[in-house]
Chain A
């Protein structure tokens, strides 16, 4: 079983829809959870960051972490064509100098005008 599982999609939605993206993981030591957005032919950019369980909201984006179920989600409200990208979940065990992120495979999202 891979450490981080993410449905690669592709996911296609109409403009204005609510989008739900999810990842599951197997390593209960993960404590830091992130979502990155990657446009075609660009590097990933950090979208949301959460520590341990709970919710975090930033504009149209909400990140949720449920450590008991080893499940994280990203919700996008009022989706826009500019949200079309690959979304990657990422997580790590701890900080310190040997910090490393383990990524999911990414979900390709297309928002149609």
Chain B
């Protein structure tokens, strides 16, 4: 049973389109995150939610909007996609305080053409 699952795994789309990535965790964690991994493998936090409340919002363009309908789900909607948005997007979850680290999903590879 997958702990943190993301859909879709791959997403190829044209510039200007709007797309969503979904994430679900069944670990009972209170906190969920979106990270972006660029072509050089650098992982950078975008957002975190604790029990449906937005906690961290790094300097991410307004075209990116996270939504957490409940503490087990955190979705990412991206408007007006740009070439530079091409990356792997990882969802992760942890207990509050992250005392035992993050559990990551397997990633969504987004390619904007």
Which A residues contact B (CB, under 8 angstroms)?
A: 8, 32, 34, 36, 38, 41-46, 49, 86, 88, 90, 92, 94-103, 105-106, 108
Contacts and interface: CB of A to CB of B under 8 A. Distances in A.
A34 B101 CA distance: 8
A98 B104 contact: no
Interface of B: 4, 30-31, 33, 40-45, 48, 50, 55-56, 90, 92, 94, 96-107, 109
23 contacts: A34-B101, A43-B106, A46-B100, A46-B101, A86-B41, A90-B101, A96-B96, A97-B55, A97-B97, A98-B56, A99-B31, A99-B48, A99-B96, A99-B98, A100-B48, A101-B45, A101-B98, A101-B101, A103-B42, A105-B41, A106-B41, A106-B42, A106-B43
B106 A88 contact: no
Question: Which 6 A-B pairs give the minimum distances between C-beta atoms?
Answer: A95-B97, A43-B104, A46-B101, A99-B98, A103-B43, A97-B50
Contacts of B31: 97, 99
Contact of A92 (B30, B96, B98): B98
A95 B98 contact: yes
Nearest to A43: B104
Nearest to B51: A97
A32 B40 CA distance: 24
Contacts of B48: 98-100
Given A43-B90, A43-B106, A43-B107, A88 B43 contact: yes
A84 to B, nearest CB: 15
B107 to A, nearest CB: 5
